[in-house]
Amino acid sequence: MFVLEYKVKAKPSQYQAIDGAIRTVQFVRNKCVRYWMDHQGVNKYDLSRLCKQLAEEFDFAKRLNSQARQASSERAWSAIHRFYKNCQNGIKGKQGYPRFQKNNRSVEYKTSGWKLDPNTKKHITFTDKNGIGRLKLIGSRDIYFYSPDDIKRVRLVRKADGYYCQFCINIDVTENIEPSNQNIGLDVGLESFYTDSNGHKEPNPRFFRKGEKELKRCQRRLSKKEKGSSNRRKARQRLAKKHLRISRQRSEHAKRLARCVITSNDVVAYEDLQVRNLVKNHNLAKSISDVGWYQFRVWLEYFASKFGKVTVAVPPQYTSQKCSNCGRIVKKSLSTRTHTCVCGHSLDRDHNAAINILREGLRTIGQIGTASLELENAWGDGTATVVGEVQSQQVPSPCEPSS
């Protein structure tokens, strides 16, 4: 699925209509969650039928497009299904029990309720009874390059700096590039964003730390404003824009680095870190959240699928303690930044870990290839791992339950 995003330019009354549709979506989703709580054996089809009942009972729900109401019930069922899956997999701690939504920011239409303007480019008209009407799309990409049949979803999203329209397009985004004949292992960290198996260190930009002073100033100004006043609303808007800017900086940085790493290597091995467990350390939680390891991994896997490369998620156990030369376990604390072994091997701690990650990743690929060859000989059918698919999706990680 490919997503195109445009900023929306409209009249104040149209913005209010979008806000009304967003509140309706939140209402429908919360009603579906409450219905599931009050009744046993509820499935997604029951929630879909509930949407029709809500439209007959409430006029504001009827004004929203029927498929948009169904998308709202699908959001509720997605939260319920995730809770069921976490319980079945025996995840410890919080299983993600569905909660009521308090600050929804988007409304999603499927294949009806909207229409692209055939005469004037970059205009979209919403045809339901909410009164959103015709909106102008601001962006550099041409939506008319794609067939309307390929557009499966259209979202209106409210952000701190305005309203956006997102198009979810069902197209193949794969590209063929020449093999680089290079393999690399990545050890992510806080001192450096990552250290690769070649010894290169990518600096950590620390976007939140750099903008923290300005964030605190905006937060203090917000706390001094009277609740419910126009000045407080403006101060809250300024603070939200600061947070949005930092979030975009972090996402763009992870995207650019991931693309560079994938296009430069054929096999990329990285640690299968559980970030939600790491942030429980309150001394490092802010720094871990600021560096954005999870976003980097998501973009690595996306670009690997796009360019036909292989990514391998390696268990992080003993990658920093194990000597990359002789294999001995050398215990060291986080403050020890140099790996020194009795065999005489000495190098940077993160560089040593990156080499171990690469070796473990290549060993994992070798085991998969051997097992696939045995199956092919036994059954006469090729079942080898397809090059270009995300490796972590083909083989369940030892640290995560298989689906």
- The predicted-structure confidence for 50-63, as pLDDT tens digits, reads as follows 999 999 999 999 99
Name the E strands within 65-132: 106-109, 114-116, 123-126
Say what the pLDDT of residue 345 is.
82
Residue 339 parent element (H or E):
strand 338-340
DSSP character string of 366-397: HHHHHHHHHHHHHHSS--PPPBTB-HHHHS--
Residue 49 to residues 35, 63, 68, 73, 112, Cα–Cα distance (Å) = 11, 17, 13, 9, 18
- Give me the pLDDT at residue 403, please: 33
Residue 390 pLDDT: 43
Distance CA 235, CA 221 (A): 7
| Secondary structure, 3-state, 267-330 | EEEEECCCHHHHCCCCCCHHHHHHHCHHHHHHHHHHHHHHHCCEEEEECCCCCCCECCCCCCEC
Query: What is 120-151 written as a DSSP string?
Result: SSSEEEE-STT--EEEEEE-SS-GGGS-GGGE
d(CA 55, CA 154): 21
The per-residue pLDDT for range 148-164, each reduced to its tens digit, is 888 999 999 999 999 99
What value, to the nearest 5°, has the Cα angle with vertex 262 and ends 257 and 265? 125
- Higher pLDDT, residue 365 or 308: 308
Cα separation of 121 and 116, whole Å? 8
Which amino acid makes up residue 384? A
Q: What is the pLDDT of residues 293-323, one digit of tens each?
A: 999 999 999 999 999 899 999 988 888 888 8
What share of the chain has pLDDT > 90, as a percent?
Answer: 54
